[in-house]
Structure 1
Amino acid sequence: MHGPAQAGWLLVALCAATGSYCLLRMRSRVEEQRRAAGGEALMGFGMALMALPAAVLTPPRWAWLGYAAVFGVAALRALWAARRTRHHLHHLVGACAMVYMAVAMTTTPAAHTGHGGGGAPALTGVMLLYFAGYVLWSGVRLLPVAAPVPASVPTLAATEGGGTTVIGWGDRTELAMACRLSMGIAMIAMLLTL
C-alpha cells in the first residue's frame, strides 16, 4: 500500500510541474507554440488530478464523466488542429487516452486504486505501445548531437541593431520536448494501472 501511494504522489508532482511549465510556455511569441502549450498544460494538470492516490481523493462517478467530457472536447479540438500540423495528432491520441481512462474509472472505480480491471486489455495494449514508442522517439530527439544547431532552432536571435538577444527559456524546444517526454512516461504509468 505504501509503494503505490508514493508512486502516485511522484506522478502527481511530475504532471503538475509539467503542466505549470506548459502554462509558462503559453507566453511565447510564437502562436503555434502557445496553442500546443495550452493543450499540453490541460493534459498535465488533468493527469495530475487523475493520478491523485485514491486514499486522498476518490472522485464520484460524475467527476469521471466530467473528465471524459473535458478531454472529449480537447480531442475534437486536436482533431481540428491536426489539419495544420502533425504534432496535434499526438494531442488527439493523448486526449483520447484520457477519455478512455476516465470512462474506465466510471465503469470500474477500483481501477483508480491501482487494482486494475478497467478498460479493454487490447486497447490498453495499443495505447501502451503508442506511448512507449513516443517516449523512445522523444528521448532520441533529446540526445545531444555533434552537428551544428539548425537555423530553425535558434538559441540566440539577431536584433535590428546587429546585436543578439537570448531566446527565453519558455521558447526552448528541447524543454518542450522534455515535457512531452515526461507526460508520455506518466501516461504509460497511468495506463499500466488499468
Structure 2
Amino acid sequence: MMSSVTQYPATLSVDYQDKPRDRVNVAFRLLMIIPVAIILSLISGGSYKYTIDHITYSAGNAGGIIILATVLMILFQQRYPKWWFDWNLALSRFSYRFISYLTLLRDEYPSTDEEQSVHLNLVYPNVKTDLNRWMPLFKWFLAIPHYILLAFLGFAAFICTIFAWFTIVFTGKYPKSLFDFVVGVLRWGLRVSAYSSLLITDIYPPFSLEP
C-alpha cells in the first residue's frame, strides 16, 4: 500500500539557520563530534576488544534499535511493547541530532534528550489493526529498491556536505537548496527505517524527499 507523503507515520524536519554559521565550529566538526560519537556508539550496541596478559577479551554494550525481538512479538503475540517503541523513538531522535550535526545542518552540540532543532516523530502503532503480523518477515526484501536509491542519494548528500563545509567556512552560510536536499535524504531514510526496521507501519514508504 502506497502512502501520500503527508500521511506517513514517520516525520522529520530540521530548522534552517538563517543567522551566520559558526565557522570555527564547522571547520573542526570532525574533531568536535568525537565525544558524542563515542556515547552514541556505546548506547547503540557497539563492542570493543582489549588484551590482558596476551589474552583478548571482547566486551559489548546492550542497546541499539530493538528489531528482532519486535519482529517476534508482532509475529507471535501481535504486540509492540510501548517501552520498546519509546526506546526506539528516543534513540532515533538522538541519532538524527547526531547526524544533523555531523552533516553540518546545525551548530548546536547534539543533546542526548532535548529535541533542539531536529524534529522527529513516529506514530505508535495499534498492532492488531495497523500491522500485518507476517509483514516483518518480508519488509527487508520489499524495501530493497529504497536501499539502492538511498545508496546513491546518500553519496550525493555526502558530496553536498563537503561542498557545504567549504561554503560555510568561507561565507558563513549553508546553501538552502543543499540543506533541503540533505534533510530530504535523511527524511527518506527515516521513512524506510520506520517501515523495515522500526516496524511501526505497513504503509510502503513514498519515493520522495518532500516533508
Normalized per residue, the structure richer in strand is: 2
